[in-house]
Structure 1
């Protein structure tokens, strides 16, 4: 079968059994954020110490995970710096996603 026939079949099937609205999609994206680094200097005498910004910025790379359905964003997470997706973390994320879906859409719970 070719793709056009399969897509046509799925669209016709969706008219009798609405399954496309039950789909949840996830995407991961590496993002960089800039953080100004400041440094304190000791002052002479009784003056308060002053802060000077470093001339360059420090770049941090974080992973953003977003889940959405046909209504919009359901859940998103920003992973700590240097952390990537592995099987344990993904299972934990799926459990948190399940809780969010149950909280936001109680009539449309995810099957276990």
Structure 2
């Protein structure tokens, strides 16, 4: 696979993603606030989930989970469709036959 990638760099077309809970304290500002830590992340109500997708070069798309929403298959499919549109915008100059179609 590595030899094939040297002749036709298909690995550069891969997109991967991940999600992460971010805890924050909306009342803290400045340098002193960043030095404090929250003991148990599960006890805070101020959390956001961020979804990030990237390729070998840069971040392609990211989204925050709307407050009060739960991730489910419908929301995830909507995110993937937005990712697809965003990635097509970024890769507009690449030959369409070389681009992976991740239609649902």
Q: Which residue of 2 aligns with 1:7?
A: none
CA displacement at 1:89 relative to structure 2: 0.8
Paired residues for 1:8-47 under 5 Å? 10-36=1-27
Q: Max radius of gyration: which structure?
A: 1
Which structure carries more helix by proportion? 2
Give structure 2 stretches of 5+ with no counterpart. Answer: 28-43
CA displacement at 1:70 relative to structure 2: 0.7
**Greater RCO structure (CA 8 Å; 6+ sep):** 2
CA displacement at 1:110 relative to structure 2: 4.0
TM-score, normalised on structure 1? 0.65
Q: Which residue of 1 aligns with 2:51?
A: 65
Q: Which residue of 2 aligns with 1:3?
A: none
CA displacement at 1:17 relative to structure 2: 2.5
Which structure carries more strand by proportion? 1
Relative to structure 1, the CA distance from residue 110 to residue 13 in structure 2 (aligned partners, 3 Å threshold; closer, same or farther) is closer
Instruction: Show structure 1 runs of 4+ deviating over 4 A.
Output: none
